[in-house]
Chains A and B, each alone.
Chain A
């Protein structure tokens, strides 16, 4: 996982963001872009149980709303009313 997948990640621009915990600027790519042990899964469509079948470009289907629609893996979901974390759902079912 990368910093940008973390719940503590704050977007800055197309090449970097910030860690809300230690306030360090972190790159999106290359060296230094990988998550640290404090990683906590963020709010992105790709982590949602309603997001299915992404293609090579990360474009899949969102079934969280009344009508299924295409969606993309990297879309922010912090404010989505139907975001249900897939990993939590899996944990419950186990």
Chain B
């Protein structure tokens, strides 16, 4: 190290008390290589790559058994008993070379069904399942979702394995168990009850038409939790034994007692603590079971190193079953246990880990100081942690699993942001978390950098180095914009500046409220951040804005299915303003009807299946003595409207404005005729290619050649063209106040969420050609402020200028996907260039940017020969997934995204 470098490091250490492992400067600096991951990681990943997604019946069997044994008990207590029994009766599995243990089930990529949430899927197929025949017709959404054939997906039945939801394998001998359990819930699942009460709505037929036309493609009951942020505080602070004692104390002092006239709510406190005691027992015993398993394995193990590993696991699991963790490894293992318990509570995705490097730093720093752990040992644990999170699977129908999630479960880990005092929150452990991500090639957890000008430069450069590796993460979120949204939206619920600093993404991009809590450890108090609200990813979800425009132009009739989705709007559409008025009227009707259904869904779920693990962990549930869905959490205003295809819609409107209304090149009838005939091209379903750039002409093509040319060449969002950008401004200006006039089942205001996840595939598939020149069946634009693929002609900074034409802090998020050729960011100068690009966008107020740093050529090669690219990862929309495990429509769309190479 030269003198200059030494001085730089000295200054950095003075500023931030930590040092960088690898950031160097000066001549000859090459930043291309991270060290190889640990041998343990490599061995375990070799197994992971050949694992099949598997469901088994241990959890559902025990849940079902104990639930019905407690028929008549109070819902929260009955639920806690059922969950506790299920957790504690699952077979614990520990594989050689593991240091961190536990899984959702006994299988590596294991999951299970939740018939108490959704039984119709199985009951409808009971006979077919029993006959091992092909499943009968799926729902409309399921038909439109193509689950990838590669990787760990079990897309077809074979041998003694039955494919469930085109993704999971179930052993044939367990099919009768599944069918038997599902029958119990035939008339009393959350799905059935929400439907039963929703059908009483006078507008229910309208809602059904929205769903059948796939204008709206999500039911909140299907994944009622997730898209929120974990909070590990209570078990980290107290340990399970002390928490159980606290429950006893609370029961003694509070059962049967109301305070300050809180009546029924006050009465529920006692029952809450009884339920919490049940689930705490279950969590503790679940850990103890792994300790017992480790002891058994140690007793038969001949290899001294492996035997020692099992013995260590036995001690760690026993300790965390009872006490506050006393080491970094114990603390990390405890957070894993809590994470698995939470994702086992309901079908869910997007259960964010939160800012783990800030939460666990006190444990790491103590161990490091006392010589109990080295940096390399900590990195190894973090690499192994990545395998555990990557292996989390979610069982849902294929419409949700493939169409919405692309098979991903969105476990998001945040770094950066500000601490309780308003200073950079980056910790030494966060450097290691980023380092482990650079070494250990895994899809999860995805990493989100809460970008703030106060963050250390070397930390940001380290993050950029990982981003350059093409994993699609870290992604970058604007900390100040996020905080502004928090205060804007949660101010009414009392959020101040400190809690605003604790925000984090729930799921991929659902900004979620948080809070800091005082962890007493290592003789000091550390204010650690964590989630403080319920799911921030439910509400009126995945409304296809381009589809809605299509329905305006077809006067409410879905030409694909013949379904009358809306009554005729009665507008002449002879002015652009009239077109906009018709569109907003349909939008309002769609949202307001869907909102009522969603409110029923979430309310019925909360009453029937009160979340008990979540209600133990989320502040202020334990303080108030209230289940989360009974207004227990600190911030409840998390429900929202979620759009899909924003920029496709903006481009279509802009083209109509220009070609029909301003320049009057075509009449609206001529435009609609061209769209109905797909401008003379074959549809995506006819060609089997979903990328917007693929065009196969029919004999009608010459007739529509000119109008197609004018539509394709109309102004497009993403080129810093005010003509197109103004449409986005008008849209945003309309939505913010409108959504704030709507209320969730918790009586809190709505707001806008703008992420498509993977729905731009299936929703694009059911949408005709549009006036922006997109052909029928091809995917919508990804994200919410990225330019539609190949329509941005003026470079990346023009995209940024368009994207920031409105204030991003008025919404929960704004999503920007950028694809860069690796050659554009090569070497140390390239890392700096990438950070400059990120910084330029953040300084303009952009909320989020993420990158695919890969070439289209590589992706096309991987599409042709997936078996040769098993570990290739791409960023889709807020999450990273193995290429071979995403559906073809989304693969096509990612290939086609504009690629910046300079």
Contacts and interface: CB of A to CB of B under 8 A. Distances in A.
Given A13-B54, A23-B96, A67-B69, A79 B88 contact: yes
B170 interface: yes
A90 interface: no
Contacts of B174: 72, 74
Interface residues of B, number: 44
A86 interface: no
Contacts of A78: 91-92, 289, 292-293
Given A20-B297, A57-B176, A69-B65, A13 B107 contact: yes
A29 interface: yes
Contact of A72 (B61, B161, B170, B289): B61
Contacts of A71: 61
Given A75-B57, A75-B61, A79-B289, A11 B176 contact: no
A28 to B, nearest CB: 7
Interface in A25-42: 25, 28-30
A12 B44 CA distance: 12
B90 A79 contact: yes
Given A15-B159, A15-B161, A59-B176, A76 B169 contact: no
A15 B169 contact: yes
B833 interface: no
Contacts of B96: 18, 20, 23
Nearest to B91: A76
Contacts of A84: none
A38 B106 CA distance: 23
B591 interface: no
B55 to A, nearest CB: 8
B89 interface: yes
B781 to A, nearest CB: 37
Contacts of A20: 96, 297, 300-301
A14 B170 contact: yes
A23 B95 CA distance: 9
Nearest to B96: A23
A43 B58 CA distance: 13
B300 A58 contact: no
Contacts of A13: 51-54, 107-110, 169
A71 B64 CA distance: 11
A10 B94 contact: yes
B171 A80 contact: no
B61 A58 contact: no
Interface string B845-879: 00000000000000000000000000000000000
B310 to A, nearest CB: 10
Given A20-B300, A72-B177, A79 B170 contact: no
B353 interface: no
A8 B300 CA distance: 9
Interface residues of A, number: 31
B93 interface: yes
Nearest to A20: B297
B58 A58 contact: no
A32 B169 CA distance: 20
B176 A14 contact: no
A11 B103 CA distance: 11
A22 B476 CA distance: 45
B108 A12 contact: yes
A74 B293 contact: no
B300 A74 contact: no
Contact of A15 (B52, B289, B292, B293): B52
Given A12-B47, A59-B177, A76 B58 contact: yes
Given A18-B95, A75-B57, A11 B106 contact: yes
Nearest to B179: A57
Contacts of B297: 20
| Most chain A beta-carbon neighbours within 10 Å: one of B51, B91, B110, B300 | B91
Contacts of A74: 171, 173-174
A69 B54 CA distance: 26
B52 A70 contact: no
Contacts of B56: 11, 14
A21 interface: yes
A57 B126 CA distance: 14
Given A21-B300, A74-B174, A29 B91 contact: no
Interface string A37-59: 00000010000000000000111
B108 to A, nearest CB: 5
Interface string B208-236: 00000000000000000000000000000
A14 B92 CA distance: 16
B571 to A, nearest CB: 55
21 contacts: A8-B300, A10-B93, A11-B108, A12-B95, A14-B154, A14-B171, A20-B96, A28-B171, A57-B176, A58-B173, A58-B176, A72-B177, A73-B173, A74-B173, A74-B174, A75-B57, A75-B61, A76-B58, A78-B289, A79-B91, A79-B289
Interface of A: 8, 10-15, 18, 20-21, 23, 25, 28-30, 43, 57-59, 67, 69-76, 78-80
Given A11-B91, A13-B53, 17 more contacts: A8-B300, A12-B47, A12-B108, A14-B107, A14-B168, A14-B169, A14-B171, A20-B300, A69-B69, A72-B61, A72-B176, A74-B173, A76-B58, A78-B289, A78-B293, A79-B89, A79-B92
